[in-house]
A and B are shown apart, each in its own frame.
Chain A
């Protein structure tokens, strides 16, 4: 698949899912690729995060809150188990979602309805972290487009942490370096309920055209 067709598919998909999957009519081949049902998509349980050359699909109905994604992320990338600096964020949201509300018993998380949404880097088109980094430690990979972090170049200023509108970038307080997501896929590969899925635009393009 050429870069052009990948970017075309990405643009089309982002347009299609601008407000999430709820309300989007997805074809059977697309549902198969995304690994969810139409009902799950329509009920807002499936979050899609369009990235450089793939889509990360997080299925809130399937996530059981085990946080193995955070362990696998940091053991793979940092050589230690360090949930706080994980590039996918689960533990801060696993109990109550993003805030404790008065009706938390009916809200998200383990204390509510168990809808659990891990958050991860969007690999934004015009990435604030890339723009904010004063030493160009975060740059798009020329082949994949992933906004890659070079920890050797990172000076630990925290500009990426402040710039990220989604609160995804973290600083490793033990080495004073950014731990921005590099889309390695360790979180997906170790999820025991397949709640996380990486879908290549190549496969999505085939499904969209089917």
Chain B
């Protein structure tokens, strides 16, 4: 079989048994998110809670995973959300080396069900699958768990594990692999409840493709002609000999004179890497300087990242002065993972070098969080901690003794041991601070008397929705378009299709000239100079989520894909949105068009929306699910929406935006799928199910 392995692995933690089934009936869902969502739909009935024994989670890869295509080292994990209102379907997405190992072990998906009475880990070595005792690992950090299992089973064995946060079943707990690659969404809580400490894998099988030469040619095409840097930013920050544009805000930070300053054997210059030089593209994203600022250059050893990815977005830094905190001095992460909790400080005291306090706080907090397996929820937990700190609420949720134990003055004085003081209590299930790691919705439920209506609606929290989901590229990104890309999810949206365009570094006119022919006039507003909703924006938003779901199913990294733009001037900077379909054709041997592949991705959106309707228990998604917080309308009170300089939204326009977006999917004015929209995608059984539940 080409692309897919054709196998599903099922592991039952109650019985300790495993079995293999055919995955073929899920191929219409592509793989990854689509496959995993469908399995959860079929096997976890509505009404089951995330931590019930009947709850399951599904790790899934897709036909493109580990075929050599760039950025295909992604795994999607589907399960019921423990942290957002309605406990509906969510996905976690993780990189590292997990996807390759699942595929090379011979599986498209791994279904984990049941509960173990004692701590266990799952060992997968091709066809040999066992549930092993993990009593000795319980209580260990994620790093030590990986090392212990690699020491026992082999240096190449890849481990995913939970830390103290998952063991203690915090809603905001995650699963970590490869030091810092994080599967979020509250997945750690499900593992903790199931007494599952880790999954350890090593696969020796191949991934077969129908036309290997065509796949290799596509790799060269993508890496030579289409791919830029992280988020597919196609314009360098500093002018290079070949470049027409430069833009200081992009993630193509590499340039002559900027180095991996702490590389062994002396600094490695990131240099020029013109389009058509795939053997240099790993130097384009000098992410430590992007994330931490110029001071990070001297601590940068190199960039790392996921299997098969040439972009390398993991800033790998060695900060010797961290030794004094009794922790390791090295850590690698990216984006918010590079500073999950340093932001709870008000000031930063220098340690050894002028201005090093902030980077030390950021990296120390990342080391702690990843070892605890504490999920930042795209900054929500830090925002909640700050909300309680800044509003004098900490004293109100603790006993006087507990409050007196903490030296709160450290926050002001810049003593970064404050971060560990706080986080060590957050992951302690018996300490009140752990209640702040429930996710914003449940925090509000518990402390509404203290918080009133402000907390969930505040700009300080920047949620996309009152279900407790963080905004992850919303109205600040292409106005209504960005916000709309969030609403099909029950967590932060994580859609990068749109922000990869607006952040590409190309001048607005160049961007507009490429996307308007695709989606219509007016689809892309000038940054911070927004206009009212229109049909073109609705099409553009739909494109955003279709490609994202395609990538999460295929699998590919939506943090880089799709290839909307190219760094090549001679292409007019136009990318190629059909490449995924070209890969699918080369991999499976069956020709498929971009439209046909997008249709398959939309099937999953229809399904997951129907699943959410069932979890909500109402068709009224507009008023119960797709509700954005007041800050989106209230920021800058004296500035009207749709004037230059503001990202402010307007209530009537948002309702209009929802209507237009719903119409794109064939949903009704409630925002719920109809029989027609479901049957168009072969989902008659889902329509029947909704009808039987009086939800159609």
Contact of A37 among B156, B260, B265, B307 (CB under 8 A): B265
* Total residues of chain A contacting the partner, CB 8 A: 58
In the complex, per-residue mask of A54-93: 1 if CB is within 8 Å of any chain B CB, else 0: 0000001110111110011011101111111100000111
B308 touches A98 (CB 8 A): no
A-side contacts of B223, CB under 8 Å: 192
Question: Which partner residue on chain A sits nearest B211 by CB separation?
Answer: A79
Max count, chain B CB within 10 A of own CB: residue among A41, A106, A190: A190
In the complex, per-residue mask of A86-129: 1 if CB is within 8 Å of any chain B CB, else 0: 00000111111111100011100011111100000000000000
**CA gap between A128 and B309 in the complex, in Å:** 35
**CA gap between A190 and B203 in the complex, in Å:** 23
Within 8 A of B (CB), among A186-209: 189-194
Judged by a CB distance under 8 angstroms, whether B66 is at the interface is yes
B330 touches A192 (CB 8 A): no
A81 touches B68 (CB 8 A): yes
Q: Which residues of B contact A (CB under 8 A)?
A: 66-68, 70, 97, 100, 104, 143, 146-147, 150-151, 154-156, 158, 178-179, 203-209, 212, 215-216, 219, 223, 260, 263-266, 268, 278-283, 301-310, 312, 316, 318, 328, 330, 332
Within 8 A of B (CB), among A129-175: 173-174
21 contacts between A and B (CB under 8 A): A37-B266, A40-B265, A62-B302, A64-B302, A66-B309, A68-B308, A74-B206, A75-B209, A80-B212, A82-B206, A84-B206, A93-B156, A95-B146, A95-B156, A100-B147, A100-B150, A104-B147, A105-B143, A114-B304, A174-B205, A192-B282
Q: With A84-B205, A95-B155 as given contacts, are A64 and B265 in contact (CB-CB < 8 Å)?
A: no
Extra contacts, 12 of them, besides A64-B282, A96-B150, A110-B179 (Cβ < 8 A), are: A62-B302, A67-B97, A67-B100, A72-B68, A75-B216, A81-B68, A81-B207, A84-B203, A92-B154, A110-B332, A191-B279, A192-B281
A173 touches B263 (CB 8 A): no
A98 touches B155 (CB 8 A): yes
Contact of A42 among B67, B204, B265 (CB under 8 A): B265
B282 touches A75 (CB 8 A): no
A92 touches B312 (CB 8 A): no
What 6 A-B pairs have minimum CB-CB distances, sorted nearest first? Answer: A40-B265, A82-B206, A71-B68, A192-B310, A192-B282, A193-B282
Q: With A60-B264, A112-B330 as given contacts, are A80 and B303 in contact (CB-CB < 8 Å)?
A: no
A66 touches B328 (CB 8 A): no
Judged by a CB distance under 8 angstroms, whether A178 is at the interface is no
Q: With A104-B147, A192-B310, A193-B312 as given contacts, are A99 and B155 in contact (CB-CB < 8 Å)?
A: yes
Max count, chain B CB within 10 A of own CB: residue among A37, A75, A79, A114: A114
Q: With A111-B179, A194-B280 as given contacts, are A81 and B266 in contact (CB-CB < 8 Å)?
A: no
Give the shortest distance, in Å, between B201 (CB) and chain A (any CB): 12
Q: Which residues of A contact B (CB under 8 A)?
A: 36-37, 39-46, 60-62, 64-68, 71-72, 74-76, 78-85, 91-100, 104-106, 110-115, 173-174, 189-194
A71 touches B146 (CB 8 A): no
**CA gap between A115 and B301 in the complex, in Å:** 9
**CA gap between A47 and B207 in the complex, in Å:** 30
Q: With A114-B330, A193-B283 as given contacts, are A66 and B147 in contact (CB-CB < 8 Å)?
A: no
A40 touches B266 (CB 8 A): yes
Contact of A84 among B151, B204, B306, B318 (CB under 8 A): B204
A-side contacts of B328, CB under 8 Å: 105-106
A-side contacts of B308, CB under 8 Å: 66-68, 71
B-side contacts of A42, CB under 8 Å: 265
B-side contacts of A191, CB under 8 Å: 279
Question: Which partner residue on chain A sits nearest B266 by CB separation?
Answer: A39
**CA gap between A78 and B215 in the complex, in Å:** 13
Contact of B316 among A43, A93, A114 (CB under 8 A): A114
**CA gap between A189 and B155 in the complex, in Å:** 27
A-side contacts of B70, CB under 8 Å: 68
A-side contacts of B332, CB under 8 Å: 110, 114
A-side contacts of B151, CB under 8 Å: 100
Give the shortest distance, in Å, between B203 (CB) and chain A (any CB): 7
**CA gap between A193 and B216 in the complex, in Å:** 18
A115 touches B264 (CB 8 A): yes
**CA gap between A144 and B312 in the complex, in Å:** 35
Q: With A37-B266, A80-B208, A174-B206 as given contacts, are A189 and B279 in contact (CB-CB < 8 Å)?
A: yes
Give the shortest distance, in Å, between B148 (CB) and chain A (any CB): 8
Question: Which partner residue on chain B sits nearest A42 by CB separation?
Answer: B265
B-side contacts of A80, CB under 8 Å: 206-209, 212
**CA gap between A36 and B266 in the complex, in Å:** 10
A40 touches B312 (CB 8 A): no
Question: Which partner residue on chain A sits nearest B316 by CB separation?
Answer: A114
B150 touches A192 (CB 8 A): no
B268 touches A75 (CB 8 A): no
A-side contacts of B143, CB under 8 Å: 105, 111
Max count, chain B CB within 10 A of own CB: residue among A62, A85, A94, A192: A192
Give the shortest distance, in Å, between A196 (CB) and chain B (any CB): 9
B-side contacts of A36, CB under 8 Å: 265
A66 touches B330 (CB 8 A): no
A-side contacts of B203, CB under 8 Å: 84
Give the shortest distance, in Å, between A115 (CB) and chain B (any CB): 6
Give the shortest distance, in Å, between B15 (CB) and chain A (any CB): 30
**CA gap between A110 and B328 in the complex, in Å:** 13
Give the shortest distance, in Å, between B1 (CB) and chain A (any CB): 12
**CA gap between A170 and B432 in the complex, in Å:** 55
Contact of B150 among A43, A75, A95 (CB under 8 A): A95
B330 touches A43 (CB 8 A): no
B264 touches A64 (CB 8 A): no
Give the shortest distance, in Å, between B218 (CB) and chain A (any CB): 11
